[in-house]
Amino acid sequence: MKPTLRFLSFALLTNWGLAQPTVEVVSVVPKRLERKLRLPGEILPNQAVDLHARAAGYVEAVLVDKGSIVKAGQLLVKLTAPELNAQRAEAESKVHAIESQRAEAEAKLVGAEATYEQLQVAAATPGAVAENEVILAKKSVDAARAARAVYENSVKAAQASVEALTKLEAYLNVTAPFDGIITERLVHPGALVGPGSGAGPMLKLEQHSRLRLLVPVPETAVSGITVGAGVTFTVPTYPDESFSGMVARIPGALDPKTRSMAVELDVSNPHGRLGPGMYAEVLWPVRRARPSFLVPSTSIVTTTEHVFVIRLRNQRAQYVTVSRGASEGGQVEVFGALAANDRIVRRGTDEIRNGSPLSGRLVETR
């Protein structure tokens, strides 16, 4: 029978009430979909730093070179600053001089206190000592105590200056802040470095034992991202091998230009096979935050006006407008005014008119 005649016969049977068509129906299945997108990713060092001199001086020795593997605290560059050494020596000499003056003030205070105590004892005998002498002795004690306090403060200030210069001298030894590899050497012995010298970084240090994998995840795939989730990826350097990373940092904001979220993964790299700058193809798992409704692909009817499925309700056909989502094993994710366990026509067609009488025979979908 031609399509037009088939439609006509179905409509006539329905309208005249001569028969109530029976069709196969299936239940709407709620299921949490998981699929994978292939996304580009960029491998970055876990930590990276440009090493500058914190004290002005000349490079005496560079103990590492490009490619050197270093440990945290390891000496990398030695600087020399004769002026700084001279300043520290001068400050130490000043401390010694002030300490000598403080010792003299301490001795004077001891003598003044002894004199004052003797006069107080003598003053207990009427007429033995003039009252004015006792007052003058008391003032001498107060003056000696004030002088000692001044010298004590001066000693503290001088010692603080020595400590500051000593710390500044420690900056002449440049050490590694963390375990890593030297990726650039930009200085040689004899170069003037440090604040005010106009020099750039001396070395560049990166940590490669652990890497960051930066993945721009599209807006449509950000739902369901969880910290700690495992993700696999490949790199062109090892085309037949897969690597894995763990979702570690989720910024929670989209780039307005690309409509993507820059998610970072931690990648263990103990043998150094991967390196920063490598391109990665990431198999990104897409997980819906809520279960999706799945229907057979044959249930979806597409016309020039809309896309719909036919629901069986109260023995009548009911059009439900839907939009398509992901596909999985012959079933399609749909979005629309559906509920779990709704009965829909397995093989939808616009020959079944909206509102027409209809009975269904439930079949299972696999």
Q: What is the pLDDT along the chain (366 residues), one digit of tens a residue?
A: 444 334 334 444 444 444 578 888 888 888 777 778 899 999 999 999 999 998 888 999 999 999 999 999 999 999 988 777 777 777 777 777 777 888 887 888 788 778 777 777 777 777 666 777 777 878 887 887 888 888 788 878 877 877 777 777 788 899 999 999 999 999 999 999 988 778 889 999 999 999 999 999 998 788 778 898 899 999 999 988 999 999 999 998 999 999 999 999 999 999 999 999 999 999 988 776 677 788 888 889 998 888 999 999 888 889 999 988 877 777 888 888 888 888 999 998 888 899 899 888 888 765
Residue 97's CB: how many other CB atoms inside 10 A? 13
Q: Tell me yes or no: is domain 3-32+290-362 CATH 2.90.10.10.
A: no
The CATH number of the domain covering residues in 50-81+172-203: 2.40.50.100
CATH superfamily, domain at 35-48+208-287: Efflux pump adaptor protein, beta barrel domain (2.40.30.170)
DSSP 257: T
For the whole prediction, is pTM greater than 0.85? no
Read off the tokens for 167: 């710390």
Would you list the domain boundaries of the chain?
3-32+290-362, 35-48+208-287, 50-81+172-203, 82-166
Residue 43 CB-density burial (10 A; 0-12 exposed, 13-18 middle, 19+ buried):
buried
Residue 314 CB-density burial (10 A; 0-12 exposed, 13-18 middle, 19+ buried):
exposed
Residue 153's CB: how many other CB atoms inside 10 A? 12
